[in-house]
Amino acid sequence: MTFPNPLIPGFSPDPSVVLADGVYYLVTSTFEYLPGIPVYRSTDLVTWTHIGNVATRPEQAGVDDVTTGGGVWAPTIRYRDGVFYVIVTIAMSPRGCVVFTTTDPAGPWSDGITIEGVDGIDPDLAWDEDGTAYVTFSGLSTSGEQMGQHPGIQQVRVDLAAGKALEMPRSLWSGTGLKFPEAPHLYRRGDYWYLLIAEGGTERGHSVSVARGPAAEGPFEGHPANPVLSARSTSRPIQNTGHGDLVATPAGGTALVLLGVRPLGLTQSFSPLGRETFITPVSWDDGWPQPEPVRLAPRNAVDERNAVDEEVFDFADPSALADPGWLAVRTTPESVASVRDGRLAITGQAGLGDPHPQFVGRRQRHLTAAVSATVDASSGAGGLAARYDEEHWICLEARGTVVTARAHVAGITQSWQATVPAGDVELRLEMTLPSAGFGFVAMGGDRIRLLAAGTLVTELDGRYWTSETCASFTGRVIGLYASAGTVSFADFRYRGADA
Ligand code: 6LW
């Protein structure tokens, strides 16, 4: 089976997938962004539709003041007796390990119940033959005096309805000794229970390892040749591969969805889009799963009809902001922006360097992309921005007839100015692959051109706004914002392609 890869492009790490009555549903992490935990739907594992989000109400995720990079870490989605479950850690927040449920994955989902006694990350949910529910998780502590302690892969039986563990955690097999054993998932297949984990850390050493045993509690015996998948020390185009979840394919085979990055240039140093969701076929050999190395196959390469992916949001459509792909920081898009009189209006109180910016954006999904917006900043200041977090962002900010381009990295800001006509002005960001450097070889980050009213204001090396330099777990999000007064937007346009 030939899969497009990335499967879910753009900032979509820590994927988990479930097959329910012939339909696939996939969820990913969202950290400090809301709505939290996007739900994607597919009938063939190839074409996916973003049908909604689990945490559409702020109180579900509780990330109002969460540390950057904390928040919604690594959900697991499972299905049992007509009910969908998403179990997830809200890291560095009092919410802890939370279970959301629904009978309709498009939502609404429940408010979520905290499971007391699961003090770790990457919780998995599985039931044994008699209906006992197991939560298997990484014991990494993300709060309190134990912060950073890591007792390995842990497991408890739980009472989901009561929201509590039924015992003290027991330690399970925790990999081959690489750092950060995490992302455990438990599966029953034939005579065995399989325990799949990630180890090596989510960067270039990321790996997938597997063990099997006679019961959900083990004891587990590791595969004789773990890790069964890793891109470490290779020049494969997809790096950091790990954090996988197994699923049956429509043809009756097996596949693994997992995270990876697409670093640019010869040195493969910088990944603008952050960690994305990929997929790879899995064969079974002597009762062991064997994933294939992840192959890059951008959709346009798989099907030329999809050469360019284009989204146009014309705010004359009052429902434009209802699309589930909009994101805001520690709050919901509808609390930041509103569509009225045919335009999207945002009233600014703080700038992009604030943990609570008035910003609504969308994931950058392609390495080559152009994003534009038409703004009227006659009554305020605001415009178009690409952000990783409050310490790493670029923007084109209009205020009356002046547009200021700003590049901000870790407390350092550089700016450029241009004068534009009064009224509506087009702001535009163009991201392209690294230009040639060191002779014929492309090095560095992507190239980012910032334009106002068709005039180039400046061009930047995008390496300073990538997964490796920002280290905030998320990915590039491009969107609209206001920093003062009220600005209004007529449209938001995205065009992307992957060579
Ligand atoms: C995720 C864990 C991880 O929970 O990072 O580095 C966390 N590994 O698996 C956030 O993606």
pLDDT tens for residues 373-398?
A: 999 999 999 999 999 999 999 999 99
The total number of residues shown for the chain amounts to 499
Report pLDDT digits (tens) over 327-349. 999 999 999 999 999 999 999 99
In this model, does residue 301 exceed pLDDT 80?
A: no
* Architecture in CATH of 307-497: Sandwich (2.60)
In this model, does residue 103 exceed pLDDT 90?
A: yes
Residues 6 or more apart whose Cβ sits within 8 Å of residue 241: 206, 207, 208, 229, 230, 231, 258, 259, 260, 278, 294
* Prediction pTM value: 0.97
Ligand 1 atom closest to 13 (CA)? 11
In this model, does residue 365 exceed pLDDT 90?
A: yes
C-beta atoms surrounding 108 within 10 Å? 14
Report pLDDT digits (tens) over 203-248. 999 999 999 999 999 999 999 999 999 999 999 999 999 999 999 9
Handedness of CA 366, 281, 209, 152 (dihedral sign): positive
442 secondary structure, DSSP code: B
Ligand 1 atom closest to 259 (CA)? 11
pLDDT of residue 211: 98
Residues 6 or more apart whose Cβ sits within 8 Å of residue 130: none
Confidence of residue 293 (pLDDT cuts 50, 70, 90): very high
Angle at 262 between CA 11 and CA 331, to 5 degrees: 10
Q: Does 121 contact ligand 1 (Cβ within 6 A)?
A: yes
Q: Could you tell me the two tokens for 111?
A: 């408010």
Percent of the chain's residues with pLDDT above 90 = 91
Confidence of residue 141 (pLDDT cuts 50, 70, 90): confident
Give the mean model confidence (pLDDT) for residues 114-127. 96
pLDDT of residue 2: 80
81 φ/ψ sector (left φ>0, alpha ψ -120 to 50, else beta): left
Pocket test for ligand 1, best of 12, 37, 63, 182 (most atoms within 8 A of CB): 182
Give the three-class secondary structure for 185.
strand
Q: Does 60 contact ligand 1 (Cβ within 6 A)?
A: no
Confidence of residue 144 (pLDDT cuts 50, 70, 90): confident
Nearest residue (CA) to ligand 1, atom 8: 202
Nearest residue (CA) to ligand 1, atom 10: 73
pLDDT of residue 148: 77
pLDDT of residue 441: 54
Angle at 184 between CA 27 and CA 247, to 5 degrees: 55
Q: What is the mean pLDDT of the chain?
A: 95
CA separation for the pair 59, 112 (Å, rounded): 9
pLDDT of residue 303: 60
pLDDT of residue 156: 98
Which option is the CATH number for 16-304: 2.115.10.20, 3.40.50.670, 2.30.130.10, 3.40.640.10? Answer: 2.115.10.20
Please report which helix (H) or strand (E) contains residue 470, including its range. helix 467-470
Q: Does 202 contact ligand 1 (Cβ within 6 A)?
A: yes
Is residue 259 within 8 A of residue 13, CB to CB? The reply is yes
In this model, does residue 476 exceed pLDDT 80?
A: yes
Distance 202 CA to ligand 1 centre (A): 7
Q: Which residues are marked as active site?
A: 14, 182
Phi, psi of 361 (to 5 degrees): -145, 180
Handedness of CA 165, 171, 173, 176 (dihedral sign): positive
Look at 92-96, 206-210, 232-236, 249-253 and tell me which has the smallest mean pLDDT: 92-96
Distance 252 CA to ligand 1 centre (A): 30
Is residue 200 within 8 A of residue 230, CB to CB? The reply is yes
Q: Does 13 contact ligand 1 (Cβ within 6 A)?
A: yes
Please report which helix (H) or strand (E) contains residue 89, including its range. strand 83-91
Give the mean model confidence (pLDDT) for residues 308-314. 95
Angle at 268 between CA 267 and CA 270, to 5 degrees: 115
Give the three-class secondary structure for 441.
coil
Report pLDDT digits (tens) over 434-445. 876 655 556 778
> What are the sequence ranges of the domains in the chain?
16-304, 307-497
